[in-house]
Amino acid sequence: MFKRSLPKVLILVLLVSLITGCSSKESTDDKETGADDSTRYISIATGGTAGTYYPLGGALAKIFNDNIDGVTANAQATGASTENVGLIAEGEAEVAFIQNDITYYAFTGTETFEGKDKIENMRGMAMIYPELVQILATKESNIKSVDDLRGKKVAIGAPGSGVEANARQVLAVHGMTYDDLGKADYLSFNEAADQLKNKQIDAAFITAGIPTSAVTEVAQTSDIVMIPIEKDKITELIDRYPYYTEVDIPKGTYNGQEHDNPTVAVMAMLVVPEDLDEELVYNMTKTLFEHKQEIADTHDRGNDIQLETALIGMPIEVHPGAQRYYDEKGINK
């Protein structure tokens, strides 16, 4: 009986050997190709390719990849602030660029997020630079003030975007709604730029760090004017919405701009999920500030990234990993 069973035993041994050999080869292949189950993939949600978030996100991904062991980071083009809130909330991004006003709306369920569930699983990583509300118009439109937008075709930002909220609020302090415009077009930066060049619209709201590539492109090929916000209206805006600050778009920022242009700004910030690993967030925050010059080499707004202002205007709780770095550096909110 034992002798008759022997061939079956030998076959079984051979099969086990083959399987073990294959597994060993796969393990060796993994090592040779550098496969590593410990790699942490970081998706950085930015904005449209014509805005400021996108090039800054690319620079951020590079310094993370170069300086944080085990991290592979990539910048993703998105619909910017409002879409990025959703990506963070749903765990589809590990880092996101978001305007601080939009972060506040999402966290508190107000303004553009009124009637929706509050997004409370977001935490702040850093405040990084001012985003200026820029109102530009074609020279042919004869628009010289915000009041002159009445009856005109105006791009007001993508639906639900930070730009759209800013446009609505600026119009409101001037006693206007979208109904007072000739037409309110919900357009992205690229779409607004194209339609300004083609004279399909008269003016556009764009909220971004300066110089904004979409505005630069239009100014190089078309005659445009920057529309100021008057001092009393700036004061009213800040009284109603304290996350705004008064700023100027310096003369010469864009081709043909001969004077400083008074306006308001919100702050761009970096947001992470509440449950993101503390050590990872600590390392990302540290890398952001220790390698900020590499970001500045990519875009001028990188020069605005300062440790001393990293918590000024922070509208939500700071992530513990980021807070640990600020505590080490003596930075308080």
Span 232-272, pLDDT tens digits = 999 999 999 888 989 999 999 999 999 999 999 999 999 99
**What does pLDDT average to over the chain?**
89
Q: What is the mean pLDDT of residues 23-44?
A: 58
Residue 1 pLDDT > 70, yes or no? no
Neighbours of 177 (CB within 10 A): 11
Burial 270-282, CB ≥16 within 10 A → b, else e: bbbbeebeeebbb
Confidence of residue 37 (pLDDT cuts 50, 70, 90): low
**Beta-strand relationship, 40-45 and 95-99:** parallel
Give the chain's domains with CATH numbers. Answer: 40-129+267-329 (3.40.190.10), 131-266 (3.40.190.10)
